[in-house]
Amino acid sequence: MNVHSCKYNCCNCGKSFRNNRDLGVHRRIHSGEKPFECTVCSKQFSRSHHLAVHSRIHGGEKPHKCNECDKAFSQSGDLNTHMRVHTGDKPYKCSLCDKSFSTSSHLQRHKRHVHSNRRSYDCRYCGKMFKTSHVLKLHICTHTGAKLYSCRHCSDCFTHYFQHKAHLLSAHNEGTWFTCHICQKKFSEKGTFNKHCFRHGGMKLYLCEECPKRFYTATEMRQHQLRHSDIKLFSCDLCGEGFRCKDSIVRHFDRCPAL
């Protein structure tokens, strides 16, 4: 890209763009905004192209099959990425430490949580800085006492969207439960429901390299392997406490002393 032809600059990182539309799309990286939502599973995306690619998983057609396990994918690129689970290939190396990763997104997440201190959003009440506008909004609630999501049927209010959604289902029967046909257990989130169903008939194909434990999914295995490391990839933007695993920070967030 010819730098001299770029007229639109990002105020957060200084990157330049040819037009305001491209700049607007780029700004979602800093704001965390994800305006494109899947109508099937409610997963959100920052770009319409990413939503279009994701939507293929609901179409049922997955012609690219793994030769090592029973997983199949709608795109060949996804299969190639998946195969690294079996081969152990980690082509993405961190330039700041000796860690390597199987995907570029995992590398970027590692750099963002471990090596980056960029915080562009400041609280107007106390001056504390945050990495995303969404976390800033949650923090401001500690000053104002406000809750971002209110029930239209009763007076209950909630800090998080997933709490609001679960309330609508359980208290007002609004929405659709995802019900397991084997044990009849109900879930408000499709992702959690899919993980549960897989455990009824799935095999633990993923073996930890550090201990004898096995796991149903590669994600679970990677999260477990963090327990063998001293690196804390996840940090609470409200109080600064660090965690090795995502599930630990999720449990922490509801009882964070800064809330």
3-state secondary structure 69-125: CCCEECCHHHHHHHHHHHHCCCCEECCCCCCEECCHHHHHHHHHHHHCCCCCEECCC
pLDDT greater at residue 258 or residue 152: 152
Question: Would you tell me how many other CB atoms lie within 10 Å of the CB of residue 154?
Answer: 10
pLDDT at 154 over 70: yes
pLDDT at 2 over 50: no
pLDDT band at 172 (very low <50, low <70, confident <90, very high): very high
Predicted confidence (pLDDT) per residue in 10-33, tens digit: 777 777 888 888 888 888 777 778
Cα separation, 45 vs 171, in Å, equals 29
pLDDT greater at residue 156 or residue 148: 156
3-state secondary structure of 133: helix
Predicted confidence (pLDDT) per residue in 41-98, tens digit: 777 888 887 787 777 666 656 778 888 777 777 778 888 888 887 787 888 888 777 7
pTM of the complete model: 0.36
pLDDT at 134 over 70: yes
Q: Are strands 186-187 and 178-179 parallel, antiparallel or unpaired?
A: antiparallel
State mean pLDDT over 2-14: 66
Q: Count of residues for the chain?
A: 259
According to the per-residue pLDDT averaged within each range, which of 114-123, 179-188, 215-224 is highest?
A: 179-188
Instruction: Output the average pLDDT for the chain.
Output: 78
Question: Using alpha carbons only, what angle is made at residue 87 by residues 207 and 229, rounded to the nearest 5 degrees?
Answer: 50
User: 11: which residues sit within 8 A by CB, 6+ positions away?
Assistant: none
Cα 12 to the chain's mean position, in Å?
22
Cα separation, 52 vs 111, in Å, equals 28
pLDDT of residue 180: 86
pLDDT at 3 over 70: no
User: 34: which residues sit within 8 A by CB, 6+ positions away?
Assistant: 28, 44, 45, 46
pLDDT at 36 over 60: yes
Burial 173-182 (b: 16+ CB within 10 A, else e): eeeeebeeee
User: What DSSP element (H or E) covers 162?
Assistant: helix 161-172
Cα separation, 7 vs 201, in Å, equals 55
Cα separation, 245 vs 225, in Å, equals 9
pLDDT at 163 over 50: yes
State mean pLDDT over 89-115: 78
State mean pLDDT over 213-229: 78
